[in-house]
């Protein structure tokens, strides 16, 4: 008898997913093709082509050297086509960050007409963090030392932007299907002057859980229960655990959780690096090569101390169709328990 579809709610965001487990019983061929790395054209992110990027914000040069010159391990430059408007000289205001100043329905007072077409400048900064001088087209292709240096660069740049941003969002678009316009492996850091609704919602749920449980830590309790149950636990070490989330929105979605809850990823040492490497290895093993994917770091917004950082990985194996776009509810045909078992086999655990 087929397993009927069920609705699950993500503990951190409150978002619903429909798990249609019976659909996973069909023969499924996930498309994981990735274009081969090529040097058909000059790559501005490769070592020796520093003059082809905007002047760098920062670089890790173990042997020293002048800015915008070779000899770097990781490097940060302004995005040539930024989604945000530019540097801000004022520190972020927590009150302003969470206020819907551009929402005409909330901003309008009694007796005043709402401006239904209001807009405000998109302030903040948008930078690129180049992971390695080598020309590789996936984060999976980084060796252990390069991955460690790349994640260290994420944290360095997030710390550098922390005081000026209401919210920091670091992402990796890995492959053209995931949104990468240049194949050389890199991350992007957005220093936003507002807190996106999804992140604000997660912050609110963490605080509400603490109040409801008289001091409970939401992510820590989720982690402890995932370890106890074991059904979605892919890997664990002394610092972090790797799970397929309870309400996974897409097949083989992964989440890295620190075992000791901490608000800010950028201030938590090197925790998570080794587990990220294991997550990438598991996906590469399961699909016989690196699937195209999106990776993002969730860290506390400015002024929020009740929060827990985590890293999410979403392989691009399925397409959002009409139902998902119309409702905001994802249908996942591959239950996280099934994905967990297959990924654990790839790690030999």
What is the 8-class DSSP label of residue 86? B
Question: Which domain range does residue 230 map to?
Answer: 1-25+36-349
Q: Is residue 30, in this structure, part of any structural domain at all? A: no
Task: Enumerate the H helices of the chain as residue ranges.
Answer: 94-98, 104-107, 144-161, 197-212, 218-229, 273-287, 322-327, 336-347
Q: How does pLDDT run across 267-293, given as a tens digit for each residue?
A: 999 999 999 999 999 999 999 998 999
Question: What span, in angstroms and rounded, lies between the C-alpha atoms of 198 and 305?
Answer: 17
| Exposure on the CB side of residue 128, measured as CA atoms within 13 A | 23
Taken in order 144, 148, 149, 153, the sign of the CA dihedral is positive
CATH number at residue 44: 3.30.428.10
Asked if pLDDT for residue 90 goes beyond 60, the answer is no
Q: Which residues fall within 8 angstroms of residue 207, CB to CB, at 6 or more apart?
A: 306
**Residues 114, 108 contacting (CB under 8 angstroms):** yes
- Count of CB atoms situated within 10 Å of the CB of 292: 22
Q: Is residue 231, in this structure, part of any structural domain at all? A: yes
Q: How does pLDDT run across 204-250, given as a tens digit for each residue?
A: 999 999 999 999 999 999 999 999 999 999 999 999 999 999 999 99
Q: Is residue 187, in this structure, part of any structural domain at all? A: yes
Task: Evaluate if pTM is beyond 0.85.
Answer: yes
Closest CA to 332 of 10, 20, 47, 9: 20
- Mean pLDDT (whole number) for 310-329: 94
- Mean pLDDT (whole number) for 309-338: 94
Overall domain count for the chain: 1
Q: Is residue 194, in this structure, part of any structural domain at all? A: yes
Query: Locate tokens 């996106």: which residue?
Result: 196
Question: What span, in angstroms and rounded, lies between the C-alpha atoms of 122 and 86?
Answer: 8
């Amino acid at each position: 008898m087929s397993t009927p579809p069920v609705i699950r709610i993500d503990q951190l965001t409150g978002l619903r997913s429909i798990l249609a487990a019976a659909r996973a019983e069909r023969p499924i061929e996930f498309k994981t093709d990735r274009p081969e790395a090529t040097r058909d054209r000059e790559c501005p992110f490769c070592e020796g082509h520093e003059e082809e990027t905007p002047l760098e914000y920062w670089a890790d040069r173990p042997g020293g050297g002048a800015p915008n010159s070779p000899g770097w391990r990781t490097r940060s430059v302004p995005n040539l086509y930024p989604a945000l408007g530019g540097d801000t000289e004022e520190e972020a205001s927590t009150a302003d960050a969470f206020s819907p100043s551009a929402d005409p329905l909330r901003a309008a007072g009694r007796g005043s007409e709402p401006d239904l077409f209001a807009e405000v400048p998109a302030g903040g900064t948008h930078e690129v963090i180049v992971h390695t001088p080598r020309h590789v087209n996936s984060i999976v292709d980084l060796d252990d030392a390069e991955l460690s240096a790349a994640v260290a660069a994420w944290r360095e740049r997030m710390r550098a932007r922390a005081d000026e941003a209401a919210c920091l969002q670091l992402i990796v678009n890995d492959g053209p299907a995931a949104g990468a316009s240049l194949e050389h492996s890199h991350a992007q850091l957005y220093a936003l002057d507002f807190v996106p609704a999804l992140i604000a919602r997660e912050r609110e749920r963490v605080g509400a859980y603490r109040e409801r449980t008289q001091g409970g830590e939401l992510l820590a309790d989720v982690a402890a229960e995932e370890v106890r149950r074991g059904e979605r636990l892919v890997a664990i070490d002394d610092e972090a655990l790797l799970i397929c989330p309870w309400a996974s929105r897409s097949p083989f979605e992964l989440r890295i959780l620190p075992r000791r809850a901490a608000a800010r990823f950028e201030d938590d040492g090197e925790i998570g690096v080794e587990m990220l490497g294991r997550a990438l290895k598991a996906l590469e093993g399961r699909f016989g090569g690196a699937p195209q994917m999106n990776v993002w770091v969730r860290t506390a917004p400015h002024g929020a101390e009740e929060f827990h950082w985590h890293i999410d990985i979403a392989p691009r194996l399925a397409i959002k169709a009409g139902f998902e776009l119309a409702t905001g509810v994802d249908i996942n045909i591959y239950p996280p328990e099934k994905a967990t078992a297959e990924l654990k086999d790839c790690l030999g655990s």
